[in-house]
Amino acid sequence: MSSSSKTAHVEQSSASKPPFLTLGKVMPEALQFWEMRCAQFSMHKGIPEADMVKKIAWGMQDPWIQDWYLTNQEEIDAITFKEYMTEVCNIWLPLGWADIVRHKMLASMQGQHPFNEWAINVQSQNTLLHGTTSHLPDVNILYHLKSHMNAELATDYHTESVEEEDLCKWIERVHILNEKCLRYLARQKEAIEIVLCMERVHSNADKKLSTNTHFSSNNNTTTKGSSSTLKPFTRLPSLTNSEWQLLHDNDRCFKCCEPFMGHTSSNCTKGFPDGVLYKTLTSSSVTAKKMKKGKDVVTTVEVEETCYTVAVVMLSAVLGNGTDSGEECMALLQTPHLRWDCLIDGPGVSSPINVSVLIDYGSSLVLIGEELADKLGLHRQQLAKPLPISLTLSKDKDSFLLLQYVKLSCTSLDQVYTS
């Protein structure tokens, strides 16, 4: 109980002066802080344990608590400070306060808070329960933190397989893992902001372009006002992510949308391209321009185009009626590879890169080159069991073991489908 609706707090001018618990509603946090200040004062002044209660009891300024002390002063002065604090908690804290604190602690979740701050808050609440039956051991605190961390951190935690029984060391290891996760999310956010910034640049450029055009009532087409022949002009739509990346990595100009131009939008003299005549930028077209300009292309991915003969079918051996007469069926000797141009991402790159992947519907494995995995910064993990692989067309039947795997997500260029 308390004689005020305000919350009590602790005041102490110096360590050599007794602490005061001001008038107000007594809460577990304030009472725990007052107990620590009393212990500090007793140690500083060298007060014997038998005299400690009578030295600090008057520090509680609530009239009801003072009246309780005066009424029972002889009995209270005879008990130890620890017993005195137990009596104060039982009488002056709200009924069932320990269960309330424990419920609040066990209901807490990390959410978007940094893991370290959340873990400290949970431990602080458990400290309030010290000396009560509601106090939880370290192993229960560890289990609560493990089962209530946010989904992103939980995924990385299970991938890393953190094994640690000591609560403090475990919290430190998970804190380091959470910081790594936050840095990755920050890079993703930065990449998104860059893309949005470029979209705003294109939008502003389109608005400026519209001020220099007029509408022809005769043929219902938009034409450039500066053109003497009133030639129809079609505005170019916004660049795709792959086109933006190709321009960004190859000495780009986002105004004329050409790579290897040696200028930027601010000093471009070519102007915006006509949407009718514009050809979509691809890795192959940039490579062709690079060979003419003699410059390196950063984001083009070369995929070997060689086709190998994997089977020979005798003519008329499969299709037909089995006779030598009639029209002869010709089976295809080889067909083009199935390829998919897509976007892939990883911790090692600031934005998704465009690659051409081979769809091998006869293979039971999805393979990725070590160089590309390292470039993306993908985390390598050990296979539970090494996987033996042999080369079918090798004369010596060469074989080797696959020992590691990575997690990879592929997204279509229009970002509608993700595998």
Neighbours of 11 (CB within 10 A): 13
Closest CA to 411 of 337, 339, 341: 341
246 Cβ partners below 8 Å, 6+ apart? 252, 259, 281, 282, 283, 286, 299, 300, 354
Of residues 400 and 92, more confidently modeled: 92
- Could you read off the pLDDT of 65-94 as tens digits, one per residue? 999 999 999 999 899 998 998 899 888 888
Q: What pLDDT score does 396 carry? A: 62
What region, left, alpha or beta, does residue 341 occupy, with left being phi > 0 and alpha being psi -120 to 50 degrees?
beta
pLDDT mean over 359-375:
79
Indicate if the pLDDT at residue 189 is higher than 80. Answer: yes
- Could you read off the pLDDT of 239-263 as tens digits, one per residue? 787 777 877 777 768 778 788 777 7
**What is the full DSSP assignment across 356-415?**
EEE--TT-S-----HHHHHHHTPPPEEEEEEEEEE-TT-TT--EEEEEEE----EEETTS
Rg (the chain; Cα; Å): 37
- Give the pLDDT band of residue 394 (cuts 50, 70, 90): low
Most confident of the ranges 22-36, 270-284, 368-382: 22-36
Of 61-75, 107-121, 212-226, least confident by mean pLDDT is 212-226
- Could you read off the pLDDT of 308-343 as tens digits, one per residue? 333 333 333 444 444 444 454 454 556 677 888 888
Quick check: helix, strand or coil at residue 239? Answer: coil
Task: Please count the helices (runs of H) and the strands (runs of E) in the chain.
Answer: 13, 9
Quick check: helix, strand or coil at residue 44? Answer: helix
Q: What pLDDT score does 218 carry? A: 43
DSSP letter, residue 61: -
**Separation between Cα atoms, residue 275 and residue 22, nearest integer Å:** 75
Mean per-residue pLDDT of the chain: 77
Q: What pLDDT score does 361 carry? A: 60
